[in-house]
Amino acid sequence: MTNKQTKLVFMTLLLGTFAMFLNQTLLTTAYPSLMKDLSVSTDYVQWLTTGFLLVTAVVIPLSGWLMHQVNTKYLYIASQIIFLIGTSLCYAASSFSQLLFGRVIQAIGVGIAMPLFQTVLLYLSPKNERGAIMGIAGIVIGLAPAIGPSLSGFILTMYNWHVLFLMLIPIIVVVLFLTFFFMRPVLPIEKTKLDSFSVIESSLGLGLLLYGLSLISAKHANKWLLIASIVVGCVFIYRFVLRQKKLSNPFLSLEPFKQKDYLISCILLAIANMAMISFEMVIPMYIQNIRNMSPFESGLSLLPGAIALGIMSPISGKLFDKYGARGLCIAGMAILTAFTFPFVFIKSTTPMVIVIIFYAFRLLGISMVLMPLTTFGMNALPNSELRDASVINKTTKQIASSLGTAIMISVMTMVTNTSNSPQTLLKGYHGSFYVATFFCLVALVISFKIPKKTV
């Protein structure tokens, strides 16, 4: 492809990814409104996020196989059409079950598109420039979910939650138009027979594991069902791993794990994701339920953090190309930890300017971690392993996001079970922030395992 064609492919992928990542956090500020409008509790409404992540994680491994079988252009078009159908169903939903069904359809499209986006971007980028290119992608990957709560809050001051999905539809249509004209068949086709047992084992394993994790935060969950789901899910995942090692043409190659740098990046990205996604869900609840602020004010309070992340992402990418991942990630994790811990002591009277500043510094730290870590791990692999590595990377992050959300909501629910008073609710948030701080500390310690860049 020419340089111009490559840029057009990047532009198409970035716009499509922006819509999909925006969709992931668009509802966080709307949760209180949804709970009231649809008459559901906290442990039910979180399924709009947990269920979405669950289905996405189940579909992602299949996406890896599809990338080997289907023309890149047609596969991306299919993912956008599915996402458009799901978004339209969400817009038209009149009940919680209908909204959840729409989110499930959305998740199928996202599960196909996300690994494809990362693989194509890496495949077309020279290794010595990947940091800068992935840094630009980081603006989208980080900024879209970060502005979701702000944009959602603004819209909810004038319209109902249906409009949150309506505004995505024109963007998806534009992406489909651009894909039709500008997308190219980037990845080589390597036809292989679909191993049905691998699909069944990965789907059941991931599905049951994530379902079990989601039950952790449910108030009236059957504990034996919870334990059984997690245990049986882990058994299927273990069987899946063993099967991939025996197959001559595995459904999902696990070869990337043999590279230490890739393994470290996967672990750190998982923990960082747990700290980010789960926190993004809890902080709007604190602002609205404890501070009695409107959804718009809640979203506006989070906007400076989104701006900080957007500004820092391309800078982090360039710093990565020059200095490597170690210093960036240690500094980023340190900032993330330092500005997460103070939320443990937050009160109903804490000046909002402090909350805004600390939240912004958290996202500044995250911008120094996410894309540099992703690029660091992928640079350790040959191009032939990028597809499977992207699938593993995305699946790991989805599991981590579900686990983090489940744990934080569970801690908050357990603390607030005795009372719904503002003081008890505040203690619940404190418990969640303790968990987020622990995630950050673990990631900070592991980040010292990243090797220094060699010249």
Lowest-confidence segment of 6-20, 155-169, 186-200, 289-303 by average pLDDT:
289-303
- Which tokens go with 134? 């992935």
Instruction: Give the Cβ contact number of residue 423 at 10 Å.
Output: 10
The CATH number of residue 300's host domain is: 1.20.1250.20
Query: Is 72 a domain residue?
Result: yes
pLDDT (0 to 100) of residue 82: 95
pLDDT at 105: 94
| Shared-domain flag, residues 281 and 231 | no
Residue 192 has pLDDT above 50, yes or no: yes
- When divided into structural domains, the chain yields a total of 2
Please write the tens of the pLDDT for every residue from 314-339: 888 888 888 888 888 999 999 999 99
Q: Are 317 and 135 in contact (CB under 8 A)?
A: yes
DSSP designation for 258: G
Lookup result for tokens 């590595």: 389
Q: In 3-state terms, what secondary structure has residue 325?
A: coil
Site of tokens 């492809």: 1
Q: Are 80 and 16 in contact (CB under 8 A)?
A: yes
Average pLDDT for 189-199? 84
Mark whether 294 and 270 lie in a shared domain.
yes
Q: Give the residue among 179, 209, 160, 155 at the shortest CA–CA distance from 22.
A: 155
pLDDT at 419: 64
**Which of 118, 116, 145, 142 has the alpha carbon at shortest distance from 130?**
118
Q: Is the pLDDT of residue 231 over 90?
A: yes
Q: What is the mean pLDDT of residues 142-170?
A: 81
Residues 62 and 86 in one domain: yes
Q: Is residue 174 part of a domain?
A: yes
Q: What is the pTM of this model?
A: 0.79
- Give a yes or no: residue 215 inside a domain: yes
Least trusted range by pLDDT, from 69-78, 217-226, 288-297: 217-226
Task: Give the domain extent around 232.
Answer: 195-250
Out of 204, 226, 250, a domain closes at: 250
> Under a CB-based contact definition with an 8 Å cutoff, are residues 435 and 415 in contact?
no
Instruction: Provide the pLDDT for residue 81.
Output: 94
Based on the fold, state whether residues 217 and 309 are members of the same structural domain. no
Residues near 232 by beta carbon (within 8 Å), at least 6 away in sequence: 204, 208
Say yes or no to pLDDT of 263 above 50: yes
Clarify whether residues 121 and 142 are in a common domain.
Answer: yes
**The pLDDT of residue 219:** 63
Examine the domain organization and report whether 158 and 127 are in the same domain: yes
Rounded CA-CA distance 195/61 in Å is 12
189 and 256 co-located in one domain: yes
Whether residue 454 lies inside any domain: the answer is no
Q: Are residues 223 and 300 in the same domain?
A: no
Neighbours of 162 (CB within 10 A): 15
- Taking residue 194's Cβ as centre, other Cβ atoms within 10 Å add up to 11
Name the region of 252 (left: φ>0; alpha: ψ -120 to 50; beta: rest).
Answer: beta
CB within 8 Å of 277: residues ≥ 6 apart: 49, 401, 404, 405
Confidence tier at 146 by pLDDT (50, 70, 90): low
Contact in structure between 107 and 58 (CB atoms under 8 Å): no
Of 185, 217, 250, the one marking the end of a domain is 250
Residue 1, pLDDT > 80, answer no
pLDDT(455) > 70: no
Do 87 and 224 reside in the same domain of the chain?
A: no
- pLDDT of 304 reads 85
Three-class DSSP category at 2: coil
Per-residue model confidence as pLDDT tens digits over 341-377: 999 888 888 899 999 999 889 888 888 888 888 888 8
Domain-ending residue, one of 210, 234, 250: 250
Same domain, 172 and 109: yes
Q: In whole angstroms, how far apart are CA 305 and each of 101, 124, 225, 228, 440?
A: 31, 31, 39, 40, 18
What's the pLDDT band for 2 if we cut at 50, 70, 90?
Answer: low
Query: Does one domain contain both 18 and 153?
Result: yes
Q: Are residues 206 and 156 in the same domain?
A: no
Mean pLDDT of 240-251: 87
List, for residues 40-70, the tens digit of each pLDDT value: 777 677 778 778 877 888 888 888 888 888 8
Distance CA 352, CA 298 (A): 10
Are 217 and 410 within 8 A, CB to CB? yes
- Residue with the larger pLDDT of the pair 313 and 76: 76
What mean pLDDT do residues 183-211 have? Answer: 84
- Integer angstrom CA distances of residue 407 from 74, 205, 215, 217: 38, 20, 10, 7
Average pLDDT for the chain:
83
Structure confidence at residue 8 (pLDDT): 84
Instruction: List all residues 6 or more positions away from 78 whose beta carbon is below 8 Å from its beta carbon.
Output: 70, 112
Residue partners of 427: CB distance under 8 A and separation at least 6:
415, 416
* pLDDT tier for residue 220 given thresholds of 50, 70 and 90: low
